[in-house]
Structure 1
Amino acid sequence: MTRRRSPPVERLDGPEVLAAWYDAHARPLHHYLARRAGTAVADDLVADVFLVAWEQRAGFDPTRAGPKAWLYGIATNLLRRHHRSEETRLRAWARDGGRRSTQDEVDHRVAESVDADVRARRMAEAIAGLRAEERDVLLLVAWGELTAAEIAEVLGIKEQTVRTRLHRARTKLRTEEARDA
């Protein structure tokens, strides 16, 4: 009987591994962080994620989580430090609604834009109004494209807790969306 060999465990044991992780994960991490905290903050946070990863490389256990989940965990922890500014930014976006000049557009485009702005403000306000735990899970799924298992590992909670928080967040957002209809 031939035994199947498990894939090699990737340890963060040298700068070349960190560089490979950076090549594989920096762009999606930046996209996720930019959507949560803005591009300028994301630029700094991506750098901080890899700095923290390097500084804490001895704590990385590849048997518990892969590099992607571990890096998103670090990113989420760094985002928590920016929680206040994130919530403030979402509330400001909700007030402003991402307005753009509609003077040169035809009437129906203006009406569509106004409707979209109203919906965007309401959704941003609803997201800002979620509990931080629900918002983290929702945005890790939506913008980080992590699975429930990866999020559970990232946040140090049970997978069922992730699913429950995600369900609650989605229910609250659907309720808000139904009000708009």
Structure 2
Amino acid sequence: MTGDTGTPAGPAANRYVTTALDKPPDLRGRDVTAVFAELFDAHARKLRGYLAGRAGESVADDLVAETFLVALRRRHDYDPDRAPVKGWLYGIATNLVRDHLRKETRGRRAGLRVVGRPEPDHDGLVADRVDAERATRVLRQAIAELRDEDRDVLLLTSWAGLTPAEIAEALGEPASTIRSRLHRVRTRLQALLTEETR
């Protein structure tokens, strides 16, 4: 059955409706408020999950809001010909969460110095941020010891569900570099798990 326009009628017809998110968004147009509202509706929930996994539930909402504020301020930097807007948003979020974790680490170390306690090592602080329910003790330690770039690629893939092309856009690197880095990290983690279970 079809409607007056010749398209299928009923609930299935919704799949034929196009939205601003089916094509690259116009972040430079006059009606950016509506475009950003659609982007927020489409990406905020998953962005929040990614940020909560990296920085904790208590700051995830603030980081999501900051991500969209930065995106709004930098909307003229977005190049729709390079990659989908999703990768661009996750790039902003990744930079913000890195910055947040660095500041938090400095604050904890300063607080420990004030009360005369020894400073824990940086790897231990990063490992505490990795969701303990998602990994074994071996994986937590291995992820904590990864370089920042490797850790970002791994978590953008596993927690945020980004493709190598989207991660390349997010981090401003070639997709081939991202694929190579991801393969190297996965191989290393698999080898550690295999060794641990022997």
**How many Å separate the matches in 2 of 1:93 and 1:136?**
13
Letter in 1 for 2:140: A
Q: Aligned AA for 1:10? A: P
Describe the SS at the equivalent of 2:162.
coil
For residues 68-105 of structure 1, the C-alpha deviation after alignment (integer angstroms, 9 at most, x for no partner) is: 111111111112213444955443468xx67xxxxxxx
Structure exhibiting the larger radius of gyration computed from Cα positions: 2
The counterpart of 2:161, out of the listed 125, 145, 170, is 145
Mapped pair 1:79 → 2:115: no
Identity %, equivalent residues: 49
TM-score (norm 1): 0.76
Which whole-Å CA distance do the structure 2 matches of 1:127 and 1:170 have between them? 10
1:125 pairs with one of 137, 141, 145: 141
* Residue type at the aligned position of 2:127: R
- The 10-residue stretch of structure 1 (137-146 or 63-72) with the greater mean CA deviation from structure 2: 63-72
Is the alpha carbon distance of 1:87 and 1:41 closer, same or farther for their aligned partners in structure 2, counting shifts above 3 Å?
A: farther
The answer to whether the aligner puts 1:157 opposite 2:173 as a matched pair is yes
Helix, strand or coil at the partner of 2:136: helix
C-alpha distance in structure 1 between counterparts of 2:129 and 2:96, whole Å = 22
Unaligned runs of 5+ in 1: 1-6, 99-115
Structure 2, gaps ≥5 residues long? 1-21, 106-121
SS, match of residue 46 in structure 1: helix
Deviation at 1:10, TM superposition (A): 1.7
Q: Distance in 2 between matches of 1:166 and 1:9?
A: 27
Q: Is the 8 A contact 2:88 2:170 kept in 1?
A: yes
Q: Which residue of 2 aligns with 1:91?
A: 127
Aligned residue pairs, count? 154
Aligned CA-pair RMSD:
2.3
Contact 1:151 1:162 in 2 (8 A): yes
TM-superposition CA deviations, 1:102-148 (whole Å, max 9, x none): xxxxxxxxxxxxxx9xx722211110111111111111110111111
Describe the shift of the 1:9–1:160 C-alpha distance in structure 2 as closer, same or farther (beyond 3 A). closer
Compared with structure 1, are the counterparts of its residues 93 and 22 closer, same or farther at alpha carbon in structure 2 (3 Å cutoff)? closer
Structure 2 CA distance for aligned equivalents of residues 93 and 81 of structure 1: 14
Following superposition of structure 1 onto structure 2, how do residues 11-50 of structure 1 map, counting pairs within 5 Å? 11-12=26-27, 13=29, 14-50=32-68
| Contact map agreement 1:73 1:154 (CA 8 A) in 2 | yes
